[in-house]
């Protein structure tokens, strides 16, 4: 059992840590206040190869895998969860393509992401079908004029990066739209340039500003047969893609918690009160100690989950372990950011300090890509089924 990174991963961590301090940290507050897309950071991540971390070398990535991307996101999220989300979007929409896509799809769509020349997004949720994925109503019907082609109609919501994307991974009902059978749902690649594709609105968010979240509208969009990902009726692909993403989302929480606590610790070491610094009080030290322990526990869960995902261990029997990382790290991020605000007192609630930004950004993580409650359900079911057992 090894707890140290190999030379390549250690170098990646150190490089991204330096880049995050020098380039991401100075931009974090401005991005939050203006809500403007950080094109400069997109270009930076592209030229440094960070978008290609989880993409195999044969498709112009570096092949560092999910663990490599997890490490990079942790470092970036210490300062900006918006920037961390940009990195996450190199894997969420490409995951189904890498898991079940054709060779032609991989060669066509992955290199552009790896080079930082294209962006992609993931369309699964709908207004009436968030956690209840089987309740989606977006329909795909056979194209009468094109053999093997489909016509998609419907609306997807809460899509991160929707306004910037060049293409989307979209799930739709190829069977009866009212059916809840898993074999009625199929994944498609939808090009932004296709007729009938539009982004009618973007959302006004509490946090993680700078990468637009919004609606994708599909109005009789023609999709060729070669853009079907995997098999028709391949709903399982949605779950495999999300399962493999758990440690990547967890890394956003892990990094956020580290950044928030480090900032608060530096503050209490300098802030005078009652003839001492705040850090001199034992009660404060205990709170810092408890949170530091939670961060390290989350790190172990997250790194293990990333290691498992890179081994292809993201099928049903491994779900409890993957869900634990997402559940624990994101809820811990909420606690860490709350503590950071509290340690700064009134100052922590003001825009003079990033603690209030950490607090707003953290909550998103407990909702996206499977809520805390969904993760708890998956972990509990895993125990009941014996996928997670101790004898």
- Half-sphere exposure for 11 (CA within 13 Å, toward CB): 4
Distances, alpha carbon 280 to alpha carbons 265, 269, 291, 307, in Å: 11, 8, 17, 39
Q: Which two tokens stand for residue 147?
A: 């053999």
Question: What is the β-pairing status of strands 185-191 and 167-173?
Answer: antiparallel
38 within 8 A of 24, measured Cβ to Cβ: no
Helix (H, G, I), strand (E, B) or coil at 161: coil
Strand partners, 122: 169
Does 313 participate in catalysis according to the annotation?
no
Q: How far is CA 328 from the centre of its chain?
A: 15
d(CA 106, CA 55): 10
Q: Which value, to the nearest 10 degrees, does the dihedral of the CA atoms of residues 226, 228, 233, 238 take?
A: 150
In 3D space, the residue among 192, 212, 189, 190 whose CA is nearest the CA of residue 201 turns out to be 212
Phi, psi of 228 (to 5 degrees): -80, 125
Q: Which helix (H) or strand (E) holds 328?
A: helix 319-344
Phi, psi of 102 (to 5 degrees): -75, 165
d(CA 47, CA 39): 12
57 within 8 A of 73, measured Cβ to Cβ: no
Return the CA Rg of the chain.
21
Looking up tokens 């054709």, which residue turns up?
102
d(CA 239, CA 133): 10
The catalytic residue positions are: 369
């Amino acid at each position: 059992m090894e707890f140290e990174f190999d030379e390549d991963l250690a170098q990646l961590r150190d490089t991204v840590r330096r880049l995050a301090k020098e380039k991401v940290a100075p931009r974090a507050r401005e991005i939050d206040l203006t809500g403007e897309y950080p094109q400069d950071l997109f270009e930076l991540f592209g030229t440094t190869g960070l978008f290609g971390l989880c993409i195999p070398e044969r498709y112009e990535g570096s092949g560092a895998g999910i663990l490599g991307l997890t490490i990079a996101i942790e470092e970036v999220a210490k300062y900006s969860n918006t920037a961390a989300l940009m990195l996450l979007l190199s894997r969420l929409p490409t995951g189904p393509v890498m898991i079940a896509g054709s060779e032609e799809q991989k060669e066509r769509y992955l290199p552009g992401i790896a080079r930082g020349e294209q962006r992609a997004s993931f369309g699964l949720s709908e207004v009436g079908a968030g956690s209840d994925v089987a309740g989606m109503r977006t329909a795909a019907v056979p194209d009468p004029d094109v053999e093997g082609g489909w016509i998609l109609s419907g609306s997807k919501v809460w899509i991160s990066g929707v306004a910037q994307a060049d293409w989307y991974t979209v799930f739709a009902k190829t069977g009866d739209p009212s059916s809840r059978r898993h074999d009625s749902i199929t994944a498609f690649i939808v090009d932004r340039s296709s007729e009938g594709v539009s982004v009618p609105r973007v959302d006004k968010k509490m946090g993680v500003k700078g990468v637009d979240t919004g609606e994708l509208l599909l109005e009789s969009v023609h999709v060729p047969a070669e853009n079907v990902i995997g098999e028709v009726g391949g709903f399982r692909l949605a779950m495999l893609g999300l399962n493999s993403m758990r440690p990547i989302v967890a890394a956003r929480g892990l990094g956020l918690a580290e950044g928030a606590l480090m900032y608060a610790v530096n503050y209490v070491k300098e802030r005078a009160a009652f003839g001492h610094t705040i850090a001199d009080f034992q009660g404060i030290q205990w709170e810092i100690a408890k949170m530091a322990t939670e961060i390290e526990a989350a790190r172990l869960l997250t790194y293990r989950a990333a290691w498992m995902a890179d081994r292809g261990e993201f099928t049903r029997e491994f779900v409890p372990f993957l869900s634990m990382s997402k559940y624990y790290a994101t809820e811990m991020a909420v606690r860490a950011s709350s503590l950071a605000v509290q340690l700064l007192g009134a100052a922590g609630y003001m825009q003079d300090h990033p603690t209030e930004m950490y607090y707003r950004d953290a909550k998103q993580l407990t909702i996206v890509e499977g809520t805390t409650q969904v993760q708890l359900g998956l972990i509990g079911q895993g125990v009941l089924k014996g996928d997670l057992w101790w004898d």
